[in-house]
Amino acid sequence: MSISLDQQDWFQQFVDLILERYDPTAAMERAADLPDGPEEVRGLAAVQKSMTVRGVNNGLPLYDPSLSADQTFPAIKFLSTLKHQYELILDVGVTLNRPFDGDFGRLAITMIGYAALEDYENAEFLADVWREVMTGQSTPDSIPEVLQPHYITLGDALKKRAILKDDPLLALPINQGISYFDIYLCGRLAIDLYDDARLQRHEIEESHQITYSDRIHFVEAVIALAWSNGLLEPEERNLIKKQIQMLGLPKKKARKLITLMITPSTPKEFAHGFSTPETGMFVMRQLIIASVVDGVQDAKERKFLYQTSKEFGLSESEFNLLQEEMQAFLDANQESIDQMKNYRRSRRSSSF
C-alpha cells in the first residue's frame, strides 16, 4: 500500500502501514546489545542505535519510495522522515519493555506526533488517555474511538508544517539536519512517555528546548563553513536564510542567526553547545559532506573542518579517518545523492 497525501485519512493509513511493516524482532535484537543502566540511558542509547541503523546519524536517512503514491521527491522525503520518527517511538517502547504494538502504538505515535508539533492541548489529552489505560481506569479497547477524530486533525497539521513545496533547498545534503532533529525529537519524547508512563507538558517543552538549541548551533556551524573561504556567496546566503525560516524560531533567535551571516561564530563558540556527543559528531559529518558533495574540498574548508574537529575532541588521525569515511559514505550513496541533485536541477529548469 502507498500513501496519497491528498486523501483525508492519509495519516490513519500511514500509521497502520508503519505498524504493519514494523519489525519488533530486529528491535529486540538491537536492544539486547545496548548497555544496562537507567531507563533514560537505555532509551537514549536505543534512539542513537536506531538512528544509525536508518542512516540518520550519517545524514542521509533511508528513503522508501514505496510509501508515496505520487512518487515526488518531497512526498517521499516527508513520509520517509515520518516513518523514521515513528519507528523510533516503537523502538524505545521495545527497549524499555513498554506496550508498543496495535492500539498502544497508534496512541503513542499520535500523542507524540502532537507533542512534536508543540500542540500541547491535544498531546496532554492523549497523555491522559494513556495514563488511564495504563492504570486500569479505562480499557485498551477504548483507544480506537478516542483516536479516530485525531487522525484527520494531526494529518492536516503535519501537512501544513511539512516541507512539501518544490524548493531546491530540499536537495542540499546539509538540509538533512532538519530531518535529523525532527527524528531525534520524537525519540526523546518517546523516552519521556515511556520513562514514567505519562508525557507531561514540562517534558515536551524541555525536549523542544534541547532540540531548538541543537538546531541553532547546527545553523551556526553551517554559516561558519560557508564563510570559511572568506566569502558568503549570494546563493549560500539565500539558502541559509530559508533554512533559518524553516526552523520556526522566535524572532529574536532568528535575528541572531541572521546577524551571524555577517560575523560568523568560531568553532570554539558552537562546537561545545550540542546536547550530546553523538549530535556533535552528526554535525561534523554534515560539514564534511557539505564541503565535498558538489566538488573538491578546498584548502580553506579543510583547515576550518580540522579546527572544528579539534573542538569536538578529535585527533588529526581521527579527523582524517572521518574524512575518508564520509567520502566512502557519499560514494556508497551516490544514487540517492544524484536523485536529490537531479530533482534540484529539474525544479530550477522549470522555473525559467
Region of poorest pLDDT, from 65-69, 86-90, 313-317: 65-69
Asked which of 202, 236, 262 is the last residue of a domain, the reply is: 202
Shared domain check, 161 and 26: yes
Listed range (7-16, 23-32, 152-161) with the worst mean pLDDT: 152-161
Grid coordinates standing for 323? 574524512
Question: Does residue 1 belong to any structural domain of this protein?
Answer: no
Would you say residue 48 lies in a domain? yes
Check pLDDT > 60 for residue 349: no
- Domain boundaries, position 288: 213-351
State whether 154 and 51 are in the same domain. yes
CA distances for 302 relative to 228, 287, 290, angstroms:
9, 10, 11
For the chain, how many structural domains are there in total? 2
Calpha distance 219→260 (Å, rounded): 10
Residues 179 and 100 in one domain: yes
- Residue 5: inside a domain: no
CB 30 within 8 A of CB 46: yes
Instruction: Using the predicted structure, report yes or no on whether residue 64 has a pLDDT greater than 80.
Output: yes
Instruction: Specify if 207 maps to a domain.
Output: no
**Domain of 298: which CATH number?**
1.10.3680
Q: Are 122 and 246 members of one domain? A: no
Task: State if pTM tops 0.75.
Answer: yes
What's residue 100's pLDDT? 93
Does residue 309 sit within a domain?
yes
Residues 249 and 161 in one domain: no
Q: Are 224 and 184 contained in the same domain?
A: no
pLDDT of residue 258: 83
Residues 248 and 174 in one domain: no
- Indicate if 141 and 86 belong to the same structural domain: yes
CA distances from 273 to 220, 277, 280, 308, 311 (A): 11, 10, 8, 13, 11
Q: From residue 109, give the alpha-carbon distance in Å to each of 22, 62, 64, 193.
A: 13, 20, 19, 11
For the chain, percent of residues with pLDDT exceeding 70: 89
Local confidence band at 169 (pLDDT 50, 70, 90 cut-offs): very low
Chosen domain end from 172, 202, 232: 202
Q: What is the mean pLDDT of the chain?
A: 86
Query: Is 31 inside a domain boundary?
Result: yes
- Asked if 257 and 169 sit in the same domain, the reply is no
Final residue belonging to a domain, choices 167, 202, 237: 202
Do the domain assignments include residue 44?
yes
Over the stretch 264-306, which tens digit does the pLDDT of each residue have? 889 998 999 999 999 999 999 989 988 887 667 888 999 999 9
Considering the domain architecture, whether residues 129 and 155 belong to the same structural domain is answered as: yes
Contacts of 126 (CB under 8 A, 6+ apart): 107, 110, 111, 114, 146, 147, 150
Average pLDDT on 146-155 reads: 96
